[in-house]
């Protein structure tokens, strides 16, 4: 395993949180399914295609809604949080309602408009190096607000700023021009506001839907599958599949490690194992420590190995006893406050 233990554990916590929430909303049967007469009416046209594959139409409709929720969770929560864990980055929103708009010069704004016009009319082909040369110019012309933009992953190093906009689905044909303008304005604004630092701004895709195997990517094929992608984007502006995950972590085979973590935890008896870990009466059972190791719960293993010391320290202290007796997970989220409080008892001898 190439990833450090602390990141493996945090990723495992994230997987547990996502699974717990999705189990809570899974439609176990069609008894409480929402009324969807229009869906059912339209689906009758596909009854021959669904024959033998879908028996319970109301359940199928509810399951489709649940899958839509899973897609949303992956796109808005899992991919972004996993990226932050791997890269030690964060989300930043340079908008009027969040951190405020950054400023660029009038000359830079004009250069962006000219680039977009030339790209849209195919007078110019996308070229990352040439575009940066045009945009990253210091001048004293009048300043104005850049358009709103956000960085799903923002990384600031000593000499460099890295910004990534994550896309969980392929953009529609009409979106590529808007995405390009957003990135041009974004990286120009970052250049202006972080003087002396190299600026890199990417569009990142967590997996390649055009690839034949899970951990492969074919960037040229992928870009060709998106209408107007080649018209506006240099291939060096895109991070795809395992390329993205390795870039975020700085190691190799990161996507495979991430999928392996999910596969270990995402089993049919997930809730049984979750409840087993969360029940303190199981702490002395042989399978308890094994389950903590299987799920990469290294912090809980640390508390378990020092359980006798902790019990001595909390004697006669109601507050510490209450914290000790709290569950390790609350609605899928790991109880870090409990961990840090109990670890102080161990660290203080």
Q: Is the pLDDT of residue 100 over 70?
A: yes
* 158: three-class secondary structure by DSSP: coil
Q: How far apart (Å, rounded) are the C-alpha atoms in residues 84 and 77?
A: 11
Q: Is the pLDDT of residue 138 over 90?
A: no
Q: What is residue 32's predicted lDDT score, i.e. its pLDDT?
A: 62
- Does the CA dihedral 251-254-260-261 come out positive or negative? positive
Only one residue has tokens 């001595």, namely 312
Do 178 and 211 contact (CB within 8 A), yes or no?
no
Q: For the residues 227-240, what does the mean pLDDT come to? A: 96
**Dihedral class, residue 88 (left if φ above 0, else alpha if ψ from -120 to 50, else beta):** left
Do 172 and 135 contact (CB within 8 A), yes or no?
no
Q: For the residues 266-273, what does the mean pLDDT come to? A: 95
The pLDDT tens digits for 30-87 are: 566 667 777 887 788 788 888 888 877 777 877 787 787 788 778 789 999 999 999 9
The contacts of residue 124 (CB under 8 Å, 6+ apart) are 115, 118
Packing angle, helices 254-265 and 5-24, rounded to 10: 50
| C-alpha closest to that of 206 among 298, 307, 305, 73 | 73
- Does the CA dihedral 315-318-319-323 come out positive or negative? positive
Q: What is residue 270's predicted lDDT score, i.e. its pLDDT?
A: 95
Q: For the residues 250-263, what does the mean pLDDT come to? A: 96
Q: Is the pLDDT of residue 156 over 70?
A: yes
Only one residue has tokens 């969807």, namely 36
What is the bridge-based pairing of β-strands 333-334 and 90-94? unpaired
Q: For the residues 229-243, what does the mean pLDDT come to? A: 96
Q: How far apart (Å, rounded) are the C-alpha atoms in residues 335 and 326?
A: 8
The pLDDT tens digits for 311-347 are: 999 999 999 999 999 999 999 999 999 999 999 999 8
C-alpha pair distances (Å), 346 with each of 55, 237, 312: 57, 48, 10
Q: What is residue 31's predicted lDDT score, i.e. its pLDDT?
A: 60
DSSP string, 189-252: HHHHHSTTSEEEEEEEESS-TT-SSTT---HHHHHHTSTTHHHH--GGGEEETHHHHHHHHSSS
Q: What are phi and psi of 19, to 5 degrees?
A: -65, -45
Do 213 and 138 contact (CB within 8 A), yes or no?
no
pTM, rounded to two decimals: 0.91
Q: Is the pLDDT of residue 274 over 90?
A: yes
């Amino acid at each position: 395993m190439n990833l450090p233990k602390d990141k493996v554990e945090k990723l495992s916590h994230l997987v547990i949180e996502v699974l717990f929430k999705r189990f809570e909303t899974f439609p176990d049967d069609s008894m409480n399914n929402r009324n969807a007469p229009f869906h059912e009416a339209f689906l009758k046209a596909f009854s021959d295609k669904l024959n033998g594959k879908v028996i319970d139409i109301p359940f199928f409709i509810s399951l489709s809604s649940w899958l839509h929720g899973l897609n949303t969770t992956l796109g808005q929560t899992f991919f972004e949080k996993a990226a932050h864990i791997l890269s030690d980055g964060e989300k930043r929103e340079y908008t009027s309602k969040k951190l405020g708009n950054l400023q660029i010069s009038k000359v830079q704004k004009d250069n962006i408009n000219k680039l977009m016009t030339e790209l849209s009319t195919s007078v110019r082909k996308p070229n990352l190096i040439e575009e940066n040369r045009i945009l990253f110019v210091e001048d004293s012309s009048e300043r104005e607000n850049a358009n709103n933009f956000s960085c799903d992953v923002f990384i600031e190093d000593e000499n460099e700023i890295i910004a990534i906009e994550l896309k969980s689905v392929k953009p529609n044909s009409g979106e590529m021009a808007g995405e390009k303008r957003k990135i041009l304005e974004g990286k120009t604004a970052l250049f202006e506001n972080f003087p002396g630092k190299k600026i890199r701004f990417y569009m990142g895709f967590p997996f390649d839907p055009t690839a034949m195997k899970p951990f492969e990517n074919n960037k040229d094929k992928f870009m060709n599958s998106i209408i107007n992608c080649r018209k506006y984007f240099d291939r060096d502006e895109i991070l795809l599949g395992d390329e993205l995950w390795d870039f975020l972590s700085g190691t190799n085979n990161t996507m495979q490690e991430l999928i392996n973590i999910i596969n270990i935890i995402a089993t049919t008896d997930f809730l049984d194992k979750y409840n087993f870990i969360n029940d303190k009466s199981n702490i002395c059972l042989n399978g308890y420590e094994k389950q903590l190791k299987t799920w990469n719960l290294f912090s809980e293993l640390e508390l378990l190995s020092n359980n006798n010391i902790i019990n001595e320290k909390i004697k006669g202290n109601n507050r510490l006893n209450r914290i000790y007796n709290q569950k390790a997970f609350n609605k899928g989220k790991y109880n870090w406050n409990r961990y840090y409080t109990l670890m102080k008892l161990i660290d203080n001898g």
